[in-house]
Chains A and B, each alone.
Chain A
Amino acid sequence: MDVKYRLRFNEGNVHESVAYILVTKFDVVPNILKADVKEDGGVMILSMGGDSDNIVRAIEHLKGLGISIKTLDKYIDMDPELCIDCGACVSVCPTKSFKFNPETWEIELAMETCVACGACLTACPTHALEIQL
């Protein structure tokens, strides 16, 4: 599974065509998972595939453009104090990242497949899920 990154844009760099740069200058394959970018800036979540040296160089280049980049390893916080293991999140997740443990019937969230879409947030009746972006 490709590593995912959060890119934060500001007014000065919001016009940069990140996907084009990654493909043409660094031979990196971007997959934009989520983007909320307006004329004064915003946030994009993308994964990058390809040669790891190229990805490192690509990240340095993007940072040079003033785009702040953070590696994402956890997108959804699940509060065990609030979760009641009902399962309301399971069938609404497009990447099937929530699963029942077949022994304990507890909900397990696979971060490696989560794409931070947020579909689960409004499905949870105990507000146990929070998106970390």
Chain B
Amino acid sequence: MKTVAGINEKIKAGKAVVVTAEEMVDIVRSKGAEKAAEKVDVVTTGTFSAMCSSGAFLNFGHSDPPIRMTNILINDVQAYGGLAAVDTYIGAAQLTDKPDGGYGGGHVIEDLVAGKSVALRAWGPGTDCYVRRSIDTRFTLDDINEAYLYNPRNCYQNYSVATNGSDRTLHTYMGKLLPRMRNATFSSAGQLSPLLNDPHLATIGVGTRIFLGGGVGYVAWNGTQFSTAAAERNGVPVSGARTLALIGDLKGMSRDFLRGLDFHRYGTSLAVGVGIPIPVLDAGVAARAGISDGEIYANMTDYSLTERDKPTLAQYSYEELRSGSVEYDGHTIRTSSMSSYKKARDVANTLKGWIEAKEFLLSEPVQPLPAENRLGTLEVR
């Protein structure tokens, strides 16, 4: 059995064999998992999709005289004012205060990594130690002390396919859903997706070094709504299951892999590029990382139903979903992806390039993520 330390030695020597999860499909198919595990050292994964539970911690530095900011607007998007004087958190889903809408926290983050100057307006109570009561200025990412992305829930292991059984068009975070099930949308990189290639997190845990938004990041914790209870097919969950909380330095990231999104009549989000390297320690890891779109399934549900638990209408493989249409109850439903497979490939290939160039070493988790966790619900009492 290989070790992470041993693989790192091979990376440093420029001898590691690194393939993307897409390339791994054919390798496992043609050589078998045992041989694949001997040949391949690292499988790189990738995803690029809306991840609404994302945001950034910022520290502006102190003005003269200083202010304790309690109300903060960045490009007219509200940031959290409940931290110490000039610390804040800007969430991707926070909408602009401007009536036109279409812009939010995700766009502020994109503008910052693109090097743009953004407007900062803030107010405070004025205290003996922080006498200033308001400030109106501009800043860039380079101007501020710290800026790090901290995303409480990214990389959903799998996700529902959304359709609309009602008579009117729905505008949702899963995109535009046409009436009478004329279309369905899905959001996963499938065979390239990080957590579908290591479904029980044998190699991924707290402290795992990853590709995040074009820079280097780490797995900080399990993501919120982390669940191990989802039904599985071919060893992978068929609905939302495990998630990751991720952290990384925004100053090292790029607009290529962080994009503000605006879903019509829903709100804003941030498309995040995430890639996780999987050390191929044994044949089991190799077999799981060799899974293909034809073997990964997702449940379709009707988004016009307003209750929390929506019944499953059908189950489709990502191969079927990517074909452009699926059959349901005797008629054809056209399918659209909401996550970019092209960008997911770019993530996996970029990470592969970093490892091959000896610029990125693998890390062992410092703590495993929960082996068992069920989702709770909010009861109205």
Contact = CB atoms under 8 A, between A and B. Distances in A.
B161 to A, nearest CB: 11
A87 B171 contact: no
Interface stretch (B119-127, B220-228, B259-267): B259-267
Given A91-B335, A125-B262, A84 B175 contact: no
B183 A84 contact: no
A123 B176 contact: yes
Contact of B176 (A100, A104, A122): A122
B48 interface: yes
A25 interface: no
Contacts of A106: 342
A87 B261 CA distance: 14
A87 B264 contact: no
B40 interface: no
B254 to A, nearest CB: 13
B230 to A, nearest CB: 24
The prevalent SS among residues of A at the interface is: loop
A92 B185 CA distance: 10
Contact of A86 (B102, B171, B184, B339): B339
**Which of the listed residues A85, A100, A119, A125 has the most CB atoms from chain B within 10 Å of its own CB?**
A125
B337 A87 contact: yes
Contacts of A91: 178, 182-185, 324, 334-336
Interface in B258-285: 259-265, 269, 271
Interface in A33-77: none
B183 A86 contact: no
Contacts of B182: 91
B176 A90 contact: no
B50 interface: yes
A49 B343 CA distance: 41
The prevalent SS among residues of B at the interface is: strand
Report the contact-size class of chain A (Cβ under 8 Å from the partner): 20 to 34
Given A88-B185, A89-B336, A125 B175 contact: yes
B340 interface: yes
Contacts of A125: 50, 175, 261-263, 269, 271
A87 B339 CA distance: 7
B156 interface: no
Interface string B292-334: 0000000000000000000000000000001010000000001
A123 B48 CA distance: 18
B360 interface: no
Contacts of B334: 90-91, 96
A92 B343 contact: no
Nearest to B176: A123
A86 B265 CA distance: 19
Interface string B122-135: 00000000000000
A88 B271 contact: no
A92 B336 contact: yes
B341 A88 contact: no
Contacts of A122: 171, 176, 264-265
B345 interface: yes
Nearest to A102: B322
Nearest to A120: B176
A100 B184 CA distance: 16
A86 B337 contact: yes
A126 B259 contact: yes
Interface string A5-41: 0000000000000000000000000000000000000
A85 B185 contact: no
A84 B271 contact: yes
A125 B175 CA distance: 8
Given A92-B178, A125-B50, A125-B271, 17 more contacts: A84-B48, A84-B343, A85-B340, A86-B271, A86-B338, A87-B338, A88-B175, A88-B176, A91-B184, A91-B334, A99-B324, A105-B340, A105-B342, A125-B269, A126-B260, A126-B261, A126-B262
Interface of A: 84-92, 96, 99-100, 104-106, 119, 122-123, 125-127
14 contacts: A87-B336, A88-B175, A88-B185, A88-B336, A90-B337, A91-B178, A91-B334, A91-B335, A92-B183, A100-B324, A100-B341, A105-B345, A119-B176, A126-B262
Closest 8 CB pairs of A and B: A91-B336, A87-B337, A91-B183, A125-B261, A91-B334, A105-B342, A122-B264, A85-B342
